Structure 1
Amino acid sequence: MDNFVFSKRIKQLRAEKNLSLREVGEGMDLSPAILHYYETGQKKPSFQTIMKLAKFYNVSIDYLLGMDYVEENRSELYLKEETLLKMIRRSPIITNFIFKDPRTNINIIEEFIAKLEKDR
């Protein structure tokens, strides 16, 4: 585990959420002192604590450990995809179009996507 990346990321996440060490500690049943040690790299948490931190901050364990690309970009993309899916589900016209003749319409959508990518 890259302790520097881990320490930096948990400190950054806490700052982004505007939380004190005490507030995080209360939410995770950990002492503020131990959280301070994790944030400064003076101590390494157990895997169970890393899992709790990931869940608390709603990020992946890979992100905390510095083993993936920037989580914010992934979260932003996920939110855009989720919004798009909600829009499609709410639109009877799009839903009916897709399910009227799925095979043909999926091909139309794929061709449309290919055209958009080509026109970039």
Structure 2
Amino acid sequence: MRYNERIREIREDNSLTQQKVADLLHVGQRTYADYESGKTRIPVDSLLILARYYNVSVDYISGASNVKTKYPQK
């Protein structure tokens, strides 16, 4: 699974709007929609924010793994 599909899936699983997630990332809704569609690559720092927010590993949210492990705690 590609990261853009994964971020959409996780957002929908958490019943969040694109606007809510865009606000979390401090970007416009259109920019976030472009991340989900794959039109624009999401910055790594935004993937880290989403991984922390959803409490999943960066490997999972990026699509590198299908194992839904928790975000590592300090």
TM (normalized to structure 1)? 0.52
- How many pairs align? 70
Choose from 53, 62, 66 the match for 1:65: 62
Choose from 43, 46, 53 the match for 2:43: 46
Choose from 48, 52, 55 the match for 1:55: 52
Structure having greater relative contact order (Cα 8 Å, sep ≥ 6): 2
Structure with the bigger percentage of helix: 1
Choose from 13, 16, 21 the match for 2:13: 16
Identical residues among aligned pairs (%): 26
Choose from 4, 8, 11 the match for 1:7: 4
1:30 paired residue number: 27
Structure having the higher Rg:
1
Q: For the residues of structure 2 that align with 1:65 and 1:25, how far apart are their CA atoms?
A: 17
Structure 1's unaligned 5+ residue stretches are 76-120
* 8 A contact 1:28–1:56 mirrored in 2: no
1:33-84 per-position Cα deviation (integer Å, ceiling 9, x unaligned): 111011000010121111112112221110122222331xx46xxxxxxxxx
Report the RMSD for the aligned CA atoms in angstroms: 1.6
Structure 2's unaligned 5+ residue stretches are none
